[in-house]
Amino acid sequence: MYDLLLAKEKRIAVIGLGYVGLPIALEFAKKFSVIGFDINADRVEKMRQGVDPSREITPEDFQEKDIFFTSNADDLLQAHFFVVAVPTPVDSYKVPDLKPLQKASELVGRALKEGDYVIFESTVYPGCTEDDCLPLLEEHSGLKVGQHFKIGYSPERINPGDKNRALPDILKIVSGSDAEALEEIAAVYGSIITAGIYKAPTIKVAEAAKVIENTQRDLNISLMNELAIIFDRMGIDTQEVIKAAGTKWNFLKFYPGLVGGHCIGVDPYYLLHKSKQLGYDPQVINSGRRVNDTMPAFVAKKLVQMLIQKNKSPQSVRVLVMGITFKENVADIRNSKVADLVKELMQYSVHVHIVDPHASPNEVAHEYNLTLVDSPSNRYDAVIVAVAHDEYRDLGSEYFKAICQPDAILMDLKGLYPEQNQHLMYWRL
């Protein structure tokens, strides 16, 4: 397969052109002939014009690439090496929503031919590729894995907003349905990944490795969040505690914060779901999720308490929230815990303004029924800096004085402005 792809006698298709699929498709297109497929025709049209809807990739990155963008499923019949990179969200009950993955599997199944390969990159629970996706591939193709086609799993490791670790710079885990599949898949990915390839012994191992990467980080942050709640009651600055503890060589510097996004805030639920299916209710993972999911309510309650201490009624104040994307320097607002924070404040009848230089006002309105203002006004009673966008890092005390009441509160959730307490009532996680 690798040699035929390299000779461009066969083509690669990437299904799902979001923050994971598009970088992979463009990187493959440097060496291979690629079909970039997405069901969203508007997104496809933007990519044809060299525009990344997620605003992670520059127009220059689209140039001189052998790639054809399409939303027509019939075009997938021209491909022989399929990479599935569709979203794997959870529903409102925190249960894995496999519909995008199932639909993609059916789509690929209808395009499968003898000798083809299918590799999944979407984050799932161990066993999902073989137990949930493979039967759909076989059903819709009429072919059998091992006899007619091969499958594999290679978990995505893209870090949105990270300009220092591009796709080729991140070591790639690969796995295959048999020894031959593993070698071919490793060769294809190895041609674009300069950081190296790790060959997992089974597909389930590769799936599990991905889901625990984010579960581990989730748990570490949940510990720091719980400590922040405890230290706040003690009147101790958590950031200073971390700084002091970090002087020991084996202390890991994790920080408290709002845990959103589609990795850390979602992936652990996939492992929880599979574990419960097997009859085990995980205690530690559940606990970490509960702590992190309650942080928006904790921050909102803390602000209301501080306002009341200043004899200000929550119903009569104005609060500015700076940043609503799920992390710094990205446009992605999915699963943003800042949105949860805003809604918690609204439960107290607080009047909230939201600004964000990266977020799309239309997307925020559609996703959360919230409105972004073009720019801050003035005389705010409190400002919450929720996301550490580069645009916010160098703001000085004069900036906050200009937009705030004289006795306003600055809640610095990212610890960006420790010197601000000389002008405003300062609080940080």
Catalytic residues: 263
Distance CA 390, CA 146 (A): 50
**Amino acid identity, residue 311?**
N
Q: What letters, b where the CB count within 10 A reaches 16 and e where it falls short, cover 317-330?
A: bbbbbbbbbbbbbb
User: What is the dihedral sign for C-alpha 403, 405, 409, 415?
Assistant: positive
Give yes or no for a contact between 408 and 317, defined as CB atoms under 8 angstroms apart: no
Distance CA 273, CA 185 (A): 29
DSSP string, 180-245: HHHHHHHHHHHTT-TT-EEE-SSHHHHHHHHHHHHHHHHHHHHHHHHHHHHHHHHT--HHHHHHHH
Tokens of 309: 């201490």
Cβ neighbours of residue 353 closer than 8 Å, sequence gap 6 or more: 318, 319, 320, 321, 373, 376, 377, 380
Cβ neighbours of residue 40 closer than 8 Å, sequence gap 6 or more: 71
Tell the residue number behind the tokens 């929230």, with chain if given: 321
Cβ neighbours of residue 215 closer than 8 Å, sequence gap 6 or more: 267, 268, 271, 285, 288
Distance CA 244, CA 250 (A): 13
Length of the chain: 429
CA–CA distance from 360 to each of 91, 174, 327, 334, 388 (Å)? 23, 35, 14, 12, 17
Distance CA 216, CA 237 (A): 25
Residue 330: closest CA among 273, 263, 376: 263
H-run or E-run covering 420: none
